[in-house]
Structure formats: structure tokens, C-alpha cells
A = this chain, B = another copy of it.
């Protein structure tokens, strides 16, 4: 099955930042086979032609850090000191999460992500079978890991590792290749070094990447130094974590020497601007990291600390905030922000076969209808995507060439039922609590 999308604005997010004012995208099965300006040379063997009539096509967003199920706790606690937010609000509620909670929380998040143009998300949570099942049903792409907190007995540690291993082994490559898995020790401050070592050892055996929270707050860095005599980056290096391909989330508080180490091991970084702001964690040194050559990615973190999963807003924030903090309007230009949300996001999530519109990539892309005032007049569509658009401008979404959002509605999921169930599980949590 070959489908030609023609007469569209094509934003490729390729290495050269090309975009075509009038171009086409040719998709065969799961894959992109041709992209270009004007019309393709031959249309002979094309099964279906879709006239975009000036709509904009771009790669789907890749959200490189989150905890989808926590959408159930959206707005449950805001504006509180981090310790109180975590210990008095999040943890007691999360302790009551079961497979049902995770299922509907994740489904709610996936509806939101798909409709706002995210085609791939990284997720670190518990009850991951439920998450994987939602991904399979929804048609979205997921890079999934059972997040392991190791502040427990040896027996519990072993049980959690077993569960994480089974999940990673069972689901890697499933859902027609839309699911990939990782091993995820939660953070240096929630996992003893010996346990991180065991988890990483398992990642070696399974040949999977590692995903871990890193230096989100100044407090956890201080704690790491007082507990282990070194900052988190050398600490993780010395345990051997970075011997595996690794994606770290946040990386807000880094010293130059730590950047050196991350760069030496080609560690991938997920920048989470909204969550870092909302929780008062601080502001990552994005311009410095970009200058060093890091191909950074962007994550929303969970809806409990954001409080939405709209990657347009997240990318806009990543493009805006560092200009202000550094009093330099030239840092994080639009094309870089776009790549952080797409091409580089895919690289950081270890799914480099998506994230750009170019031959050889799988066909994960979104179509925007720019008929709203805030996307007009049209001078530079990339500027409008980064600085003006929001998730509601997304009209159609495709993953592996298959349409999952049509005219702004999910094709694969029952939105109304999911919203009903999400409210039901929240109500149950609040009653117990």
C-alpha cells in the first residue's frame, strides 16, 4: 500500500533543517519512501493520493520522559514545596494505584498525547503491563520501563528486578515493533549503588538501554555528595551505568566536569522545562549543553507536575526560557527546538528510525491545519510551530503509516469512556484516601 500526501508544507526535521513550501510525502506500509519539494517523479504505482491543500506535515513529537498514569493526579496538588508535594500528596496517592488506575491514567495520557501530536513517548512507571497494553491498543509508540525504587528489603529488590526484567523481555519489540523497553533504576537517591549495579547488569544481559532520573534538584545532589562523597554523575559512572546506552531525565544541576563525563559516554538527556519550573527544581543549562554538542530532547514529565502533556507548549517553553534566563535571544532557535522535540528526541529514546521525515524512517507524522488566526499570516511555518501553535492545531496523526487521529479525534481509543473511567478511579482514590 503506497500513499502519496501532496501539496503540503513539509517540515522534515532532517539534518539540514529542510522544509518545503509545496511538497510531498510518500509512504509505503510502515515506512517513508520519499519526501521532496513539488511533485514526485512518478505516481504510477500509488494506491492512494491525499491532497493536503496547504496543510503542514511534520514528524510526530517524541516525549522523552514521563509517567503517563499520573495524569490521574493532574491538579491534585500544586504550588506546594517539593517535599510536601511528594511525601504528603503524590506518594500516599500513588501507593493506592493499582493496575486499573495505571490503565486508565495511561489511557487518558495517551489520548492527550496523540491528539496533541505526540507519536512516541518514554514512560517510567509501575504496572507496566497495563501501560504496554494501552500502547498496543492505541497505536502510539512507547519506550517503556518499569521504574524501580530500591529503598526496600533485598527480597523486595529481587522481586522488583524480576518483574522489570520480565516486562522488558516480554514486551520489547511487541505491538508490531512500536514498543521498546528499557531498564530503569528510578534515581541515585532512591536506589543503593549495589542495586543499581544489579539492574544495569540485567540491562547488559538483555542488551537494553538504561533510563534514570538525574540531578533534578539541588537537594538530591547535596544528598548524593554527603552520602557517597561525589556528585551524581561520577557516582553513576563509577557504578558503571553509562557503559549501557543511557537516557537521563532532568539533568538540571550539572557541573562542567559532569557534562564532560556525560559527553564522554554519549549519555542522552531529556530536558523537562515545565516540570522543572513548576516544582521549583531550577533551570537546566540548555544553551551550554547545546554548545557542547549535546543533541538534547524534551519531555513533559507527568501531568501531576506540568500539568499537561502538550509537546507544542513544552517545545515553546524550551525555546523561550533559556533566552530570558541568559538574556540572549539567539539561544535555542526555532529549528533547534523543533529537532529537540522530534529527531533528537527519537535518538535520545533509542528509536532513531523515527523523528524525521526522510526515506528510511518509519512513518510517524502529524498534520496541522493552519486555518486559525494564531498561525497566520504564514511567513515561516517552523516559527509558527515552535512559537505560536498548540496541541489543538493537530488535525491528523499517523504512526507507522497508520492513522490514529482523524480530524482531531482518536481513531483507536474511546475518549469518552476513558474520561469517564479516569474520573471514576480518581474518585475511588480520594475516597480511600
Binding site for B on A (CB under 8 A): 71-72, 74-76, 78-82, 85, 108-109, 111-112, 115-116, 218, 273-274, 276-283, 303, 306-310, 313, 316-317, 320-321, 323-331, 333-334, 371-374, 376-380, 383-384, 387-388, 390-393, 415, 418-419, 422-423, 425-426
28 contacts between A and B (CB under 8 A): A74-B384, A76-B379, A79-B333, A80-B329, A81-B328, A82-B329, A85-B329, A109-B373, A112-B372, A115-B373, A277-B320, A277-B321, A277-B323, A277-B324, A303-B374, A307-B384, A307-B387, A308-B374, A308-B388, A310-B390, A313-B390, A317-B320, A321-B321, A325-B325, A373-B418, A377-B422, A377-B425, A390-B392
With contacts A303-B388, A373-B108, A374-B116 known, is A279 near B74, CB below 8 A?
A: no
Given contacts A277-B325, A307-B388, A379-B426, 20 further A-B contacts (CB under 8 A): A75-B387, A78-B387, A81-B329, A108-B373, A108-B376, A112-B373, A115-B372, A274-B320, A276-B324, A280-B323, A280-B326, A280-B328, A306-B388, A310-B390, A313-B316, A313-B390, A321-B324, A373-B415, A376-B422, A376-B423
Residues in B neighbouring A325, C-beta threshold 8 A: 277, 283, 325
CB distance from A103 to the nearest CB of B (A): 14
Chain B residues lying within 8 Å of A373, measured Cβ to Cβ, are 71, 108-109, 111-112, 115, 415, 418-419
- Distance (whole angstroms) from the CB of A377 to the closest CB of chain B: 4
With A303-B388, A390-B313, A390-B390 already in contact, the answer to whether A324 and B376 are too (CB < 8 A) is: no
- Is A323 a contact of B376 with CB atoms below 8 Å? no
Distance in angstroms from A417 CB to nearest chain B CB is: 12
Cα A278 to Cα B319 with chains together (Å): 8
Task: Please indicate the chain B residues that have their CB under 8 angstroms from the CB of A371 in the complex.
Answer: 419
Number of copies: 2
CB distance from A426 to the nearest CB of B (A): 4
Task: Give A270 to B82 CA distance when docked, in angstroms.
Answer: 29
Residue in A308, A374, A379, A415 whose Cβ sees the most chain B Cβ within 10 Å = A374
Residue pair A80, B377 in contact (C-beta under 8 Å): no
Q: Given A78-B334, A307-B387, A390-B392, does the pair A329, B280 have CB atoms closer than 8 Å?
A: yes
- Provide the bound-state CA to CA distance between A325 and B252, in Å: 12
How far is the CB of A247 from the nearest CB of chain B, in Å?
A: 22
Whose C-beta in chain B lies nearest to the C-beta of A114?
Answer: B373
Determine if B329 and A379 form an interchain contact, defined as CB atoms under 8 angstroms apart: no
Decide yes or no: A278 and B323 within 8 Å by CB, A75-B387, A306-B387, A388-B303 being known contacts: yes
Question: Are B283 and A377 in contact (CB-based, < 8 A)?
Answer: no
Residues on B with beta carbons closer than 8 Å to the beta carbon of A280: 323-324, 326-331
Complex: A71 Cα to B330 Cα, angstroms: 21
Query: Which residues of B are found within 8 Å of A426, using beta-carbon distances?
Result: 377, 379
Q: How far is the CA of A418 from the CA of B313 in the complex (A)?
A: 26
- The answer to whether B76 touches A282, judged by C-beta atoms less than 8 angstroms apart, is no
- For A380, the closest partner residue in chain B by CB is B75
Q: Count chain B CB atoms within 10 A of each CB in A321, A329, A384 and give the residue with the most.
A: A329
